[in-house]
Amino acid sequence: MANDIDTKIGGIVDMLMEDYAKGRVIDENKIYAYPEKDVVIDILEKLKVVIYPGYYRNTNYRTYTVRNNISILLEDIIYNLQKQTAIVLRYAPKYENCSQNELAEEAERITFEFLEKIPKIREYIETDIQAFYDGDPASYNKDEIICTYPGLYAIFSNRIAHELFLLGVPLIPRIMTEHAHSLTGIDIHPGTTIGKYFFIDHGTGIVIGETTEIGNNVKIYQGVTLGALSTRGGQNLRGKKRHPTIHDNVTIYSGASILGGDTVIGKNVVIGGNAFITGSIPEGAKVSVKSQELMFRYDANTPPRTREIDPEDTCFRKI
């Protein structure tokens, strides 16, 4: 019996080795030329401690001062971010022919340039927390927002990833935002530009595309899509403005879709729920979908009293 199983396993292995030799994308061996997702996610979680030093702590180390804790965390972040960045830089055309030493030097430069952006990231996140608190009466305090709100975690991840994206780091920013996406149901591409005081209420099902530009004091509810009008052009559309521009003080209610790179939503606009927009909206406008008529079908056994409808209510009619 054992020999029979060994023979079968050997046959399957031979079959797979033959299949691996076909030269397709899925046959490539990139174990040592591909970033480690677990390490990248760990970097993101350690950066959360750096961003919120009074709210999260790294249980791997026992330190007695914030300075010591941050110092140890930064050494860890620097080592791993440099290593992962050196791996992924070859995906960028300008680094394809660089030596390993050149990649290491460039990864070090990028890592320290990124770390210098942390005060700016913290400045923006502070405004986001304030926007959450001001905009959501269900939030009892800012600690609750920092510790529990998925929208804030998605924004935090995006603000980290966006700075790496701007520095030309391939793959790593997307791993970070897709990790946040998997936890929160909020999909924000790391290329998205987001201003201060950004508030995502509830958030599940939000999709925000790469070339979207969002101004200050923007509020977005669940199920909103800020997307491309069409992706039929495929790779020919890379680098082009495909997603909308949202100016300051805009509110977009649940289920709305705003599409297209030429679509500009002016300041102080309110977009109602389930609106489908493919053109620009002038400043100060309030956009809504005309109230739909609710229609009722009655079973023959439905008691008459339950069929009664206020005749003054023109939103309802029987069929």
Q: Max alpha carbon distance in the chain (Å)?
A: 83
CA distances from residue 8 to 17, 18, 20, 39, 82 in whole angstroms, order as listed: 14, 16, 18, 37, 44
Give tens-digit pLDDT for 167-225: 999 999 999 999 999 999 999 999 999 999 999 999 999 999 999 999 999 999 999 99
Give tens-digit pLDDT for 211-246: 999 999 999 999 999 999 876 777 777 778 999 999
Taking the C-alpha atoms of residue 25 and residue 27, their distance in angstroms, rounded to an integer, is 5
Give tens-digit pLDDT for 254-308: 999 999 999 999 999 999 999 999 999 999 999 999 877 777 777 777 665 554 5
pTM here is 0.85
> What φ, ψ does residue 296 adopt, rounded to 5°?
-120, 135
